[in-house]
């Protein structure tokens, strides 16, 4: 039998980076993600999951029927993504296992790349443990190859042991890192009553709250005239842009907020005297405050149009995704199942906190598939200091095995056929 470590290292070495520059309709964004998909299908076949397949959009699906007598248990979905983040290269990843003895970790002697314990104080907790690290030149892709390894390993162990379980549905998606992982997900044929993405961090931490999110595209029309004869005539779009931004609460930006605090985030600003363009993203966990924020930015538009004439400022507001908790609050059984499985797997005090972002799971939740997020054990995602403790990977496998055991599922009352 494989170990979760062998499995993870095998997956991590496969170059499967997604590309945000590929037009949104092209799924997957990179053909190389098929390399990961095909390997997974082959491995699933090898462990006895004969119906595993990859579709033309690079989504891998598989179902494991319930063992006899357990057909009425809810069908549990397990989801992880196959792509790695484009922020740092995922080509030629050379994972190495390092026994952590405290202090700094030299990842690459030759290039003098060192992971400093002062920068990553949580390392201290893994003293005496084995960590899977990079060679300092790439990311590791524990986000989310660790999630894939944990799921496949748990399935292999489950099928080898022959213990009872309900129906399991597996889904491995492309393009999560560029925000498109749910775009072509076939919720209906997936066949689960609810699911979990295995795409979190610290092994004692799970998540079921995300932001509500909107984008605002703001266009400002100025009027250009020679500055020498501009008195009472010129409307400088650049100055109006600054005035517009000053109407938004100055302390409600990403750099001043944390926890459940929402924000307005100016992501783009360019223009000349005649024309200026601004882009904002608007985020809040509370639906009420999210709506208020959209009203505030619209008020700013009205204000400037009152001061400088109608049609000076145009705004296009677009909702992007919503907090999964709005739906999950009515099926907290699913969330509690995650917590109970973690405790049975040896995590003494599972913790949770609101995600300051979105996940594919939040879009899936709104597509009818409730989908909280489970941990993978990985740290420092999207960077060269990414690592995952071996012990955490093993705990991840245990969590999945507990999650799908009849023992816990029998006490889960939520069942929804999508």
Query: What is the rounded CA–CA span in Å between residue 239 and residue 230?
Result: 14
Closest contact distance (angstroms) between CB of 176 and Zn ion is 6
Q: Considering 43, 176, 183, 360, which one is annotated as catalytic?
A: 176
Instruction: Tell me which H or E stretch contains 269.
Output: strand 263-271
Asked about 316 being catalytic, the answer comes back as: no
CA 252/CA 258 separation, integer angstroms: 10
Specify whether 207 is catalytic: no
Closer residue to Zn ion (CB): 197 or 236: 197
**Cβ of residue 144: shortest distance to Zn ion, in angstroms?**
4
Closer residue to Zn ion in complex, CB, 50/87:
87
How far is it, in rounded angstroms, from Cα 44 to Cα 50? 7
Give the residue with the Cβ less far from Zn ion, 143 or 402.
143
In the complex, the residues that contact Zn ion under the rule CB under 5 A are 143-144, 199
Residue 209 CB partners (closer than 8 Å, separation 6+): 285, 323, 324, 325, 352, 353, 354, 355
The alpha helices in 137-226, defined as continuous H runs, are: 142-161, 187-190
> For Zn ion, which is the closer residue by CB, 140 or 192?
140
Q: Decide whether 143 or 386 has the Cβ nearer to Zn ion.
A: 143
CB of 329 to Zn ion, least distance (A): 24
77 Cβ partners below 8 Å, 6+ apart?
Answer: 168, 169, 170, 171, 190, 191, 192, 193, 194, 195, 196, 369, 371
H/E stretch holding 76 reads strand 76-81
Which of 17, 43, 83, 157 is catalytic? The answer is 83
**Distance of closest approach, residue 81 Cβ to Zn ion, in angstroms:** 6
DSSP element (H, E) containing 335: helix 332-344
Which residues are part of the catalytic machinery?
83, 176
């Amino acid at each position: 039998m494989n170990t979760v470590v062998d499995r993870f290292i095998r997956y991590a070495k496969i170059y499967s980076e997604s590309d945000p520059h590929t037009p949104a309709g092209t799924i997957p964004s990179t053909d190389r993600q098929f390399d990961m998909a095909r390997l997974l299908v082959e491995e699933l076949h090898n462990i006895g999951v004969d119906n595993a397949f990859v579709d033309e959009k690079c989504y891998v699906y598989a179902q494991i029927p319930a063992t006899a007598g357990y057909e009425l248990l809810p069908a549990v979905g397990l989801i992880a993504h196959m792509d790695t983040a484009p922020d740092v290269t995922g080509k030629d990843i050379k994972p190495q296992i390092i026994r952590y003895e405290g202090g700094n970790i030299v990842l690459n002697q030759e290039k003098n790349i060192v992971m400093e314990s002062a920068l990553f104080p949580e390392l201290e907790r893994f003293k005496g443990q084995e960590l899977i690290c990079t060679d300092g030149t790439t990311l590791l892709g524990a986000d989310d190859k660790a999630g894939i390894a944990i799921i496949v390993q748990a399935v292999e162990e489950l099928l080898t042991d022959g213990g009872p379980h309900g129906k399991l549905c597996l889904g491995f998606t492309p393009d999560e890192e560029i925000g498109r992982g749910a775009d072509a997900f076939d919720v209906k044929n997936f066949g689960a009553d609810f699911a979990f993405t295995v795409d979190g961090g610290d092994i004692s931490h799970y998540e079921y709250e995300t932001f509500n999110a909107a984008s605002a595209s703001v266009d400002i029309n100025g009027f250009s005239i020679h500055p020498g004869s501009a008195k009472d005539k010129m409307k400088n779009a650049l100055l109006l842009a600054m005035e517009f931004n000053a109407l938004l609460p100055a302390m409600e930006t990403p750099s001043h907020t944390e926890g459940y605090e929402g924000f307005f985030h100016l992501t783009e600003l360019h223009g000349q005297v005649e024309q200026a363009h601004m882009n904002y993203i608007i985020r809040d966990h509370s639906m009420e405050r999210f709506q208020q924020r959209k009203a505030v930015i619209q008020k700013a538009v009205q204000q400037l149009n009152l001061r400088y004439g109608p049609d000076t400022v145009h705004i296009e507001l677009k909702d992007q995704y919503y907090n999964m908790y709005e739906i999950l609050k009515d099926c907290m059984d699913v969330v509690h199942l995650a917590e109970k499985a973690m405790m049975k797997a040896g995590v003494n005090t599972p913790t949770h906190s609101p995600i300051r972002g979105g996940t594919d799971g939040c879009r899936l939740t709104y597509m009818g598939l409730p989908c909280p997020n489970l941990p993978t054990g990985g740290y420092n995602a999207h960077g060269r200091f990414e690592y995952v403790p071996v012990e955490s990977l093993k705990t991840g496998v245990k969590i999945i095995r507990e999650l799908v055991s009849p023992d816990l599922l029998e006490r889960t009352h939520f069942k929804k056929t999508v």
